[in-house]
Structure 1
Amino acid sequence: MTRMLIVGPQGSGKGTQAKLVSEKLGIVAISTGDIFRANIKGETELGQEAKKYVDAGDLVPDSLTNRLVEDRLRWDDAADGFLLDGYPRNRTQAATLDEILARLGVELDVVLELTADTEELTQRLKHRAETEGRADDADETVIRRRLELFENETRPMIDEYKTRNLVKQVDGLGSVDEVNVRIMEALNS
């Protein structure tokens, strides 16, 4: 059983690696974006609430995000392990995740941190904007702001997990396969 998080700055390959790692470990990959989309599409009560924020272009508040994540972690497919991508993003959400997991009677096993050089991330995101049409990845000022937010918001959370000896740090640069090999080696060490 593996219960894990994958964290790293935007462009570090979290989404790609989350899919590969979850398949190799036989656990479900859960992203907050997927949770939002599924609940909005399914017109659940929480989805209707989230839709108001998404439609307005606002961030979904932590209180609602936390409820959506807890609801998703209660599904049968997460009972034997999961890989969370995109949550938690800060120390407050991490503390809430600890409470959620305690209610479920489980603990976090590992936090996989993908690292990458800021310049490389900027180039990756610009390339992604060109090839995948992600307009929000095209503006270098926006990219740098996101990376700054990661350092200010998410880095302290990762540091907290390090004090609990949960973090496995992996270089996110290289081909998808190269990075995946490093991840699997880190998880097996």
Structure 2
Amino acid sequence: MFVSAGLLVSVLGAFLAWTLMAAEILQVAAQDGDMPRFLAPIDDRGVPAPALLISTLLVQAMLVLTMFSADAFDFALEFCAALSLIPYFFSAAYAVRIASGRDGGRDGASRGHLVIAVLATVYTVFLLFAAGWELLLLSLVVYALSTVLFVMTRREKQQRTFTPRELLVVVLVCLGAVAGIVGLAIGFITL
């Protein structure tokens, strides 16, 4: 009985911590100007209420998706992994740009950095193909919807919404998102 009570307290504590951590990520990013301002406020009890509401709605949307999945755990695990691969690719590609001297000085140590960055980029491209087109197209749906937050943030800062390169990426992401939605609708993509 004592162990069961301890386990219950532990699980509930972890649930609370993970819930607040997801909200805090949005709230801190909004405070730093990387997300829209409406996510930044904290109420008198120290709760980032708008960020908590948005993160909870996103979790609920993910749970609704898993209801339509044949194997909810595997789908959630694979979908989260696929969502992380696209930022990893862009990070690795940017590391190639930095190590090649396009965004800074080039010294003797950067040759080793360039090799590592190129290997990381190639490996990430391999992982993108290994993840499968279905999950990547579903990931692009999430990224296309997230673009709204990016646009809101840029407008709040009175900055240009997209550079030409960013616009190209947004167009490709939106085309992939449309393909993902059509794939779901016609049964090409199954959860």
**Under a length normalisation based on structure 1, what TM-score does the superposition of the two structures give?**
0.28
Which is richer in helix? 2
- RCO higher in 1 or 2 (8 Å CA, sep ≥ 6)? 1
**Under a length normalisation based on structure 2, what TM-score does the superposition of the two structures give?**
0.28
Structure (1 or 2) with the larger CA radius of gyration: 2
